[in-house]
Amino acid sequence: MSTNFIDSTSTNSRSYFYAVLSTNADFESVQSTSILAAPLLAIDVIAGGESLDLWLSWPEWAADYAAYRATSLTPPVTWELVTKSPQDSNGMFEAQVPAIKSSSQFFRLTRP
């Protein structure tokens, strides 16, 4: 039995609707209500400069997304909003993020 699904055919800039149902040899359930989903966006992370700040960038079409970071992916994960406002630059949004002393940093984009 599988409770996960990855749609490897999805593309950015598109929305998808998904519904689920369960089946066995004798029965098929009613289909669930459809939910809206969008593919994950790739975030480019560039470290550099004297302060070793990080620069995040993502496509301009994702203007309503906000960047978040975490220092661990061990549950419960605490995501912190990247507070600096992104700047529009040649079809991409860019945000400067001060580096923190941590062995790892993880970033994600989500709609607020």
For position 93, which CATH number holds? Answer: 2.60.40.10
Largest Cα span, the chain: 66
DSSP per residue over 29-41, as a string? PPPPPPEEE-PPP
pLDDT digits 0-9 by tens, 6-33:
777 877 667 888 888 888 888 888 888 8
Task: Please tell me the predicted confidence (pLDDT) of residue 62.
Answer: 79
pTM: 0.56
> Residue 51: inside a domain, yes or no?
yes
Task: List the domain range (segments joined by +) for residue 103.
Answer: 41-110
Task: Quickly list DSSP for 11-76.
Answer: -TT--EEE----B-SS-BPPPPPPEEE-PPPP-EEEEETTTTEEEEEEEGGGTT-EEEEES--SSS
**Domain count of the fold of the chain:** 1
> In the predicted model, is pLDDT for residue 49 greater than 70?
no
Strand pairing report for 80-81 and 35-37? unpaired
